[in-house]
Amino acid sequence: MLGKRRPKGQVLNCDGGTAFNAMGGKIQRCWVHILRKAVQAQEGWEHPSDAPDWRGLRAAEKLSHRILETARWPQGETKAAEGRRLKAWARRWKQVELGGQEALAHQKFLGKHWNELWWWAEVGVDAHNNVAEQGLRPLIAVKRKLSWGSRINSGADRTPVLANVMQTGKMQGVTLRNLGKRALQGQSNPFQFETGPPNSVRQ
């Protein structure tokens, strides 16, 4: 679904999980996760006297908020220009000398995934993967709280597969019944990517 079957040119919108590093093609990393890490990294650097970490991390937090706001703008030259400005701001921020372990890890992540941070400005995909996170919540998180999880390994393996199928079908406007019908008819890929969000596959 996310690898060989992903249509060429579509952007995979995902979090910072290392499993996605092996994926080919275009990837957009989630700026909500980046924002959260910037906020968490400020723990222990909470006063102006702790500069440069305190000021640098506050700037990273402000940058992340601005990117998430700009990503909601209509696609066009205004958004593209603001995207270039924010990219230049982020590039300058990467040069700030930081000393805290969490701050350095945050800086390293942005440097390592630099080319996976800006597709929201170029092709208009979301700057976050909240849709996938919210899709998992009722089928995985809530179910785990109500049932205390699966009792056997096969059930634990089966649950995320079914959840993935159900939510992908929901996003593509295909019911579970129709998905099953297409699978029984021998259709290799019962999902209709062409009817989903333009230029993006969310995970």
pLDDT digit of tens for each residue in the chain (203 aa)? 566 677 778 898 999 888 888 888 899 999 999 999 999 888 877 776 777 888 889 999 999 999 999 999 999 999 999 999 999 999 999 888 888 888 899 999 999 999 999 999 999 899 999 887 777 777 766 666 677 767 778 777 777 777 778 777 877 788 888 888 887 887 777 775 444 444 444 44
Are residues 149 and 82 part of one domain?
Answer: no
4 part of a folded domain: no
pLDDT at residue 196 in the model: 40
Are residues 35 and 106 part of one domain?
Answer: yes
Are residues 142 and 76 part of one domain?
Answer: no
Q: Which of 122, 149, 176 is the last residue before a domain boundary?
A: 122
Q: Which of 122, 153, 171 is the last residue before a domain boundary?
A: 122
Contacts for 75-79: CB closer than 8 Å, 24+ residues apart: 75/124, 79/121
Find where tokens 């500069």 sit.
Answer: 51
3 part of a folded domain: no
Are residues 149 and 51 part of one domain?
Answer: no
Question: How many separate domains does the chain show?
Answer: 2
Spatial contact of 165 and 172, defined as CB atoms under 8 Å apart? no
Q: Which of 97, 122, 147 is the last residue before a domain boundary?
A: 122
Are residues 77 and 93 part of one domain?
Answer: yes
C-alpha triplet 130, 70, 81: angle, nearest 5°:
140
pLDDT at residue 76 in the model: 92
Q: What is the CA radius of gyration of the chain?
A: 20
pLDDT at residue 45 in the model: 76
pLDDT at residue 142 in the model: 67
Are residues 78 and 177 part of one domain?
Answer: no
Nearest alpha-carbon partner for 14 in 35, 29, 4: 29
Are residues 64 and 141 part of one domain?
Answer: no
Are residues 49 and 113 part of one domain?
Answer: yes
pLDDT at residue 171 in the model: 76
1 part of a folded domain: no
136 part of a folded domain: yes
Are residues 106 and 147 part of one domain?
Answer: no
Looking at residue 203, the DSSP 8-state letter turns out to be: -
Are residues 137 and 62 part of one domain?
Answer: no
Between CA 37 and CA 20 the distance in angstroms is 18
Spatial contact of 15 and 130, defined as CB atoms under 8 Å apart? no
This model's pTM is above 0.85 = no
pLDDT at residue 1 in the model: 56
Are residues 169 and 140 part of one domain?
Answer: yes
- The torsion defined by the Cα of 196, 201, 69 and 53, in degrees rounded to 10, comes to 170
2 part of a folded domain: no
User: Could you tell me the residue range of the domain that residue 40 belongs to?
Assistant: 11-122
203 part of a folded domain: no
